């Protein structure tokens, strides 16, 4: 068994994402008002139609620690995923999970509950939704790869399960706590749906259940009476 720190040379898409995130973080420090227009605020999206925010929010961060904790896994897990998938597919998946995480925040803000009002006017920033999507993909594609969780080595699939459980618990218990747990959870859930579509994942199960329901419904409509060679007195019923 051998161990190594990091995945090796940085791949093209990961390199551009690192540069873009770091450059915009520096710009944030110089022009703080950029967060007002680039961060994801549901109220601004619904009332002013600032739809670009579901993309731009991924490139803004709250502070240097927030930036580092997102860029480190982007480098550690993203490089290997891009090598496996290729730049185009990796980039598509990254933005898909990031945007889906943003949409999750928008949907949460529109729920008919009192706590939703807090999210309606709260600004979300950070690439965490896309990063959690990458973690999910890494756990699915390299389930037995050993990774470090804090100082504890564990299989990637176990790491993803623990991470998902923490995010789910935080989403339920830390509403209004200042962290976009729903966006994190959305990145993982939509990432799973994206990766498993058409290959035995939940979509296949749903299609199977729907087809089975249709067949049972049709079977009730058509009642066939079988007999011998002769036609029964009342004729065949179809």
> Measuring CA to CA, how many Å separate 97 from each of 45, 55, 144, 203?
19, 11, 23, 17
pTM confidence score: 0.77
Chain-wide mean pLDDT for the chain? 81
Q: Is pLDDT at 224 greater than 60 in this prediction?
A: no
CATH fold of 12-196 = Rhomboid-like fold (1.20.1540)
Q: What is the pLDDT of residue 170?
A: 65
**Model pLDDT for residues 36-89, shown as the tens digit of each residue:** 999 999 999 999 999 999 999 999 998 999 899 899 989 989 999 999 999 999
Q: Distance from CA of residue 37 to its chain's centroid?
A: 23
Which range has the worst mean pLDDT, 58-62, 138-142, 176-180, 220-224? 176-180
Q: Distance from CA of residue 185 to its chain's centroid?
A: 7
Q: What is the pLDDT of residue 212?
A: 67
Please state the domain extents for the chain: 12-196
Q: Is pLDDT at 213 greater than 80 in this prediction?
A: no
Residue range 229-236: average pLDDT?
Answer: 52
Contacts 24+ apart (CB under 8 A), 142-150: 142/80, 146/3
Q: What is the pLDDT of residue 109?
A: 87
Q: What is the pLDDT of residue 92?
A: 96
Q: Which residue has the tokens 């551009």?
A: 16
**DSSP assignment, residue 57?**
G
Residue range 179-193: average pLDDT?
Answer: 80
193-208 b/e (C-beta count within 10 Å ≥ 16 → b): ebbeeeeeeeeeeeee
Number of Cβ within 10 Å of residue 95's Cβ equals 15
Pick from 35, 136, 33: which is nearest to 93 by CA?
Answer: 136
163-177 b/e (C-beta count within 10 Å ≥ 16 → b): bbeebeebbeeeeee
Pick from 83, 116, 113, 98: which is nearest to 194 by CA?
Answer: 98
The model's confidence at residue 91, banded by pLDDT at 50, 70 and 90, is very high
Q: Is pLDDT at 122 greater than 90 in this prediction?
A: no
Q: Is pLDDT at 194 greater than 70 in this prediction?
A: yes
The model's confidence at residue 149, banded by pLDDT at 50, 70 and 90, is low
């Amino acid at each position: 068994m051998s161990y190594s720190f990091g995945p090796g040379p940085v791949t093209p898409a990961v390199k551009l994402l690192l540069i873009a995130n770091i450059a915009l973080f520096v710009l944030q420090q110089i022009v703080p008002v950029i967060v007002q227009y680039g961060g994801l605020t549901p109220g601004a999206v619904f009332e002013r139609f600032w739809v670009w925010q579901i993309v731009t929010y991924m490139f803004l961060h709250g502070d240097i620690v927030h930036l580092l904790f997102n860029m480190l896994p982007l480098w550690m897990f993203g490089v290997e995923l891009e090598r496996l998938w290729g730049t185009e597919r990796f980039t598509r998946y990254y933005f898909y999970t990031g945007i889906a995480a943003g949409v999750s925040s928008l949907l949460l803000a529109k729920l008919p509950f009192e706590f939703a009002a807090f999210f309606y006017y709260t600004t979300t920033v950070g690439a965490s939704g896309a990063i959690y999507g990458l973690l999910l993909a890494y756990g699915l594609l390299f389930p037995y790869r050993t990774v470090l969780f804090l100082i504890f080595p564990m299989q990637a699939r176990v790491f993803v399960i623990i991470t998902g459980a923490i995010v789910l618990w935080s989403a339920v218990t830390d509403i209004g706590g200042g962290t976009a747990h729903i966006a994190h959870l959305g990145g993982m859930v939509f990432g799973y749906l994206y990766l498993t579509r058409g290959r035995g994942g939940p979509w296949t199960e749903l299609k199977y259940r729907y087809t089975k329901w249709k067949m049972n419904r049709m079977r009730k409509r058509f009642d066939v009476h079988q007999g011998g060679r002769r036609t029964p007195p009342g004729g065949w019923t179809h």
